Amino acid sequence: MHIAVLAGDGIGQEIMVEAVRVLEALDLPGLRLDHADVGGVAYRKHGHPLPPETLDLAKTADAVLFGAVGDPELDGLRRELRVESAILGLRKELQLFANLRPANAFAGLENLSGLKPEIASAIDLLIVRELTGDVYFGEKGQRQTEDGLRQGYDVMAYDESEIARIAHVAFKAAQGRKGKLCSVDKANVLQTSVLWRAVVEEVAAEYPDVELSHMYVDNAAMQLVRNPGQFDVIVTGNLFGDILSDQASMCVGSIGLLASASLGEGTKGQYEPIHGSAPDIAGQGIANPMAMILSAAMMLRHSFADETNAQRIEKAVSTVLADGVLGHDLGGSASTSAIGDAVVAAVQK
Ligand SMILES: NC(=O)c1ccc[n+]([C@@H]2O[C@H](COP(=O)([O-])OP(=O)(O)OC[C@H]3O[C@@H](n4cnc5c(N)ncnc54)[C@H](O)[C@@H]3O)[C@@H](O)[C@H]2O)c1
Ligand SMILES: CC(C)[C@H](C(=O)O)[C@@H](O)C(=O)O
Ligand SMILES: [Mg+2]
């Protein structure tokens, strides 16, 4: 069980400490944790946000546990050196095209999102976000128009194989859940989405037991707030999935609660919270480590087929939240380490 631990920047460092403590508390046989620099930390030390030794470790390890990258002081760097390029580079290099972002209600947090409690408590959804295509990886740049104006561009493109493989992941996920899949696109405007919808329909023929629907992304954003309980699995492109998952996190209570798994064809995966380095609270010991801890649970499930320990972590997190050990993001006063202490104690019970 060889894990590359890439804590990264800002609160990435703080929340990773707690996730590692939880993993160590499980007494996993053969657990080997190798740390490496990524993001702004790596740029400052090695001159690159994704140094070759970090990429090598990520490639040789069985799984990658990733904190967050993002350093406002380095925002002016050119594109290839921007610290966010580290996370995009890892996803692309490891061919992790499927990003699973589950959002489910936690007992005790029903009043926190501002949604009516009966609406908030019905949330149990999975966003399947395509992760290696779309505007993120299309041709991009800045140029001058014929009129001498500066113009920025990012090409949105998906080919049918990219759409089909993420659709298969989503249909299979739906089969293991409530059997409902909603494909989210913007097919009333975008040609990318017209093809997306057509390919998802074709793939659907192989999954007659899954009920497929389609929704435009603007409506989906609204429905996530109006009635999130209507969703089981959502499949969508890279950009829409990025935005909708942040939104879903707040329906649950906080972005500090949502974990993710980035997967490819094999068992190798990268596991990371959906949030970033949170420079506004970094260094204060108040970041919520739950998303990071739950990412470690997803790692045990998807890369090591260890459902027992994955559930041990998830149950511990639910218990700690239900007991009212809440971070500042949830209106409580528990510090990052106090939350970690509580989860460690709960997994050992
Ligand atoms: N996976 C990643 O590494 C990742 C993801 C998103 C953003 N980023 C980067 O992070 C930097 C900051 O971006 P941003 O501010 O837009 O998004 P962010 O997710 O870092 O923070 C958004 C807000 O949520 C709060 N927040 C986030 N995680 C929290 C946690 N665990 N506990 C409590 N509060 C939390 C922050 O304090 C902030 O107010 C940028 O450089 C961005 O590019 C990285
Ligand atoms: C940091 C950024 C590149 C990243 C993304 O947009 O994918 C982040 O927002 C995420 O959600 O993982
Ligand atoms: Mg995001």
DSSP, collapsed to helix, strand or coil, labels residue 104 as strand
pLDDT digits (tens, 9 = 90+) for 155-205: 999 999 999 999 999 999 999 999 999 999 999 999 999 999 999 999 999
Torsion angle defined by CA atoms of residues 337, 343, 344 and 345, in that order, rounded to the nearest 10 degrees: 110
pTM score of the predicted model: 0.98
pLDDT digits (tens, 9 = 90+) for 300-314: 999 999 999 999 999
pLDDT, mean of residues 89-102? 98
Identify the pLDDT of residue 93.
Answer: 97
**Do residues 341 and 25 touch, judged by C-beta distance below 8 A?**
no
Query: 202 CA distance to ligand 1 centroid (A)?
Result: 37
Phi-psi region of 161 (alpha: psi -120 to 50; beta: other; left: phi over 0): alpha
Identify the pLDDT of residue 114.
Answer: 87
Q: How far apart are CA 247 and CA 242, in angstroms?
A: 9
Name which of 313, 316, 308 is nearest 296 in CA terms. Answer: 313
Whether 136 sits among the annotated catalytic residues: the reply is: yes
Identify the pLDDT of residue 95.
Answer: 97
DSSP, collapsed to helix, strand or coil, labels residue 112 as coil
Domains defined along the chain, listed by start: 1-101+277-349 (3.40.718.10), 110-252 (3.40.718.10)
Whether 218 sits among the annotated catalytic residues: the reply is: yes
Whether 242 sits among the annotated catalytic residues: the reply is: yes
Identify the pLDDT of residue 37.
Answer: 98
Identify the pLDDT of residue 335.
Answer: 98
pLDDT digits (tens, 9 = 90+) for 25-82: 999 999 999 999 999 999 999 999 999 999 999 999 999 999 999 999 999 999 889 9
Query: 241 CA distance to ligand 3 centroid (A)?
Result: 8
Ligand 1 near 255 CB (within 6 A): yes
**Residue 112 burial (CB count, 10 A):** 20
Q: Which atom of ligand 1 is nearest to the CA of 83?
A: 41
Bigger pLDDT: 80 or 215?
Answer: 215
Identify the pLDDT of residue 56.
Answer: 98
Q: How far apart are CA 246 and CA 291, in angstroms?
A: 12
Q: So what's the ipTM on this one?
A: 0.99
Question: Is 211's pLDDT higher than 90?
Answer: yes
Question: Is 112's pLDDT higher than 90?
Answer: no
Identify the pLDDT of residue 113.
Answer: 83
Ligand 1 near 288 CB (within 6 A): yes
pLDDT, mean of residues 124-144? 98
Query: 87 CA distance to ligand 3 centroid (A)?
Result: 11
Give the residue carrying structure tokens 């894990």: 3
pLDDT digits (tens, 9 = 90+) for 231-286: 999 999 999 999 999 999 999 999 999 999 999 999 999 999 999 999 999 999 99
Pocket test for ligand 2, best of 80, 242, 260 (most atoms within 8 A of CB): 242
